[in-house]
Structure 1
Amino acid sequence: MRADRLVSLVLLLRQRGRLSAATLAHELEVSTRTVLRDIEALSAAGVPVYAERGRHGGFALLPGFQTELTGLSHDEALALLIAGSRRGAQAFGLGSALASAMLKVVDALPESYRNTAAGAAQRLLIDPETDLLSRRLVTEEVPDTVVAEVRRAVFAGHKLRIHYAAKGKAPQWRTVDPIGLVTVRDQGYLLATRSGADRTYRLSRIVAAEETAEPAERPDRVDLDRTWQERSTRFRTGGDQVTVLARVNPTRREELVGTALAVLTEEAEEADADGWLRMEVTFQDPRHAEWALWQLATNAEALAPQWLRTALRNRAAAIAAAYEASSES
């Protein structure tokens, strides 16, 4: 780990010039004390790094210094393969490896290309943390130690012990045969089998993980895209799902579709006299159905089932009563 950090430190100084200890510490995700120790180690190894004192001081390399330390590690090469989504690298615990790999890629470019690439990169922003309404995109946090252990078992083809907390239940240990990892909208999943049955585990609910030495029982090759589609289909058609008949304002149709698991009347939606659409949609469970219709307020009306109409009416009545009481006081 320290060797990789020393390489990254040298590449940062090569590409960005003079940097303060605080800036280096932030980039490398270490303390300033660690940076100072690393600078001493580089100097002892003959790397011409020097300090400039003063308000705008920092550390820099002597002009013209060249290095061939651009070989990619296994994790760095893996991070580049999934670099089409930087959030995907984060979800699989490869965020720091991606940053280190990109430093090496830029350093390997000819100098004329390096400056052009750096300028172009400043003109591109991919997956910002907030949208146009300043709503922060929520990314599930998974400890690096956990995701690294899961990743090793997936690649090595070994059985994996996970301490998993299913929704609403206490964590329990279970041994699974890992198949692959999937990230969807910043959420990571482990596809596996357990006693021969298909299982899908949310990475953020894995409290701890241990790779074993026992080979996993799984096919040598796998089509992850097809496997994920099959499991998604089973998920949408099982469990406590409910089907709702609703009227919706055409301007809000896509919002309803975006929250539903499936639209059963998509090819033949009926329009009422007022132009509203009648749609039959499926939701994961009763709570999901109530939430989805409530978000659309007066732009949608649940026609069936009756329990959903009653639930929405009671919720609206409770809110109206609360506001009426507060105005009187």
Structure 2
Amino acid sequence: MRADRLVSLVLLLRHRGRLSAATLARELEVSTRTVLRDIEALSSAGVPVYAERGRHGGFALLPGFRTELTGLNHDEALALLIAGSRRGAQAFGLGSALASAMLKVVDALPESQRDTAAGAARRLLVDPETDLLSRRVAAEEVPDAIVAEVRRAVFAGHKLRIHYAAAGGKPQWRTVDPIGLVTVRDQGYLLATRSGEDRTYRLSRLRAAEELPEPAHRPDRVDLDRAWQERSTRFRTGGELVAVLARVRPARRKELVSTALAVLAEETGTDGWLRLEVTFQDSRHAEWALWQLATDAEALSPEWLRVSLHDRATAITTRYEARVE
């Protein structure tokens, strides 16, 4: 276990540069004291790791250091094999490349590991195409050529010209500085800036893309997870959102919350039902979410939503009251 951890520590420093002891401890899921002992062990073994003191200090490897770190243990090989079943790579146009890589990894494994890892992988299924109700999970289709052009610009740090159709709008050409790519529930997004302002583009709305030779204006390092969280927060709290006060059976709470953008308040009523104040993207989103819960939820406000749901239910009732002659 320690040998694997030491290899992981060196790989982290090689690929991410200077890191603090606290960051290394979090990545390796050990204590900072263990990290310090591992750093000392690496130094004693001749690995050129050094410490930089100060507020932004940490540990780093000497520039140009290279070493051969070969050999996959069983769990690492298994992780790569089951990764091939994830559809996330499809969002970035890497599905065929991932499948090809899996074949190469399997072929390179010792025969004993190949058989055991492949056998174990067949007993794990990640993100199947349908859920327990046989509802097909719809993955967005984006032409590989478009995603490949976006991906090249992101990796090369070049400006990107995109033909983009915003929701309800006509496609328009715009030039952006790409930051990174994110996939959420099989939906791909491009994080970028335009004229210095943060922008988020849905890959399925791209009609064309062209990598430009000019360098992009962007920071050398980026924390994509943090950037995504910040943009998600701004999306939930900005714009013309719809706030809804609803009562819902506790057993259906998860369904309501999963469709809402944010939960602003929550309490349990004297009747045992939950009262939640939630926000939705627009009126159609709010009506759809409450309608899915049928009689297990009730919109208390705004009044227009109650009227809309009442009219919809009345229309359904009228339709099925009609007798066939």
Equivalent residue letter for 1:271: G
Q: Hey, what's the Cα distance between the residues in 2 that align with 1:251 and 1:245?
A: 18
1:318 aligns with 2:318: no
Q: Hey, what's the Cα distance between the residues in 1 that align with 2:241 and 2:135?
A: 29
Residue 52 of structure 1: aligned partner:
none
1:263-302 paired onto structure 2 within 5 Å: 263-266=263-266, 269-272=267-270, 274-302=271-299
Equivalent residue letter for 2:219: P
1:16-35 paired onto structure 2 within 5 Å: none
Residue 55 of structure 1: aligned partner:
none
Equivalent residue letter for 1:290: E
How far the C-alpha of 1:83 sits from its partner, in A, is 3.8
Instruction: Classify the secondary structure of the residue corresponding to 2:130.
Output: coil
Q: Deviations over 1:290-321 (max 9, x none)?
A: 11111111111111111111111111111111
Instruction: Classify the secondary structure of the residue corresponding to 1:246.
Output: strand
Larger mean Cα displacement after TM superposition, 295-304 or 150-159 = 295-304
Q: Hey, what's the Cα distance between the residues in 2 that align with 1:328 and 1:146?
A: 53
Give the aligned length: 246
Larger mean Cα displacement after TM superposition, 311-320 or 148-157 = 311-320
Residue 148 of structure 1: aligned partner:
148
Equivalent residue letter for 2:288: W
Q: Deviations over 1:141-189 (max 9, x none)?
A: 0100000000000000000000111111111111100000000000000
Residue 21 of structure 1: aligned partner:
none
Task: List alignment gaps of at least 5 residues for structure 2.
Answer: 1-79
TM-score (norm 2): 0.73
Equivalent residue letter for 1:306: E
TM-score (norm 1): 0.72
Q: Is the 8 A contact 1:83 1:89 kept in 2?
A: no
Residue 183 of structure 1: aligned partner:
183
How far the C-alpha of 1:270 sits from its partner, in A, is 3.0
Equivalent residue letter for 1:252: R
* RMSD of Structure 2 on Structure 1 (CA): 1.7
Q: Is the 8 A contact 2:84 2:99 kept in 1?
A: no
Equivalent residue letter for 1:126: V
Instruction: Classify the secondary structure of the residue corresponding to 1:142.
Output: coil
Q: Which runs of 4+ in 1 moved over 6 A?
A: none
Q: Deviations over 1:69-110 (max 9, x none)?
A: xxxxxxxxxxx6994872121111111111111111111111
Q: Hey, what's the Cα distance between the residues in 2 that align with 1:316 and 1:167?
A: 29
Task: List alignment gaps of at least 5 residues for structure 1.
Answer: 1-79
How far the C-alpha of 1:113 sits from its partner, in A, is 1.8
Q: Deviations over 1:35-91 (max 9, x none)?
A: xxxxxxxxxxxxxxxxxxxxxxxxxxxxxxxxxxxxxxxxxxxxx699487212111
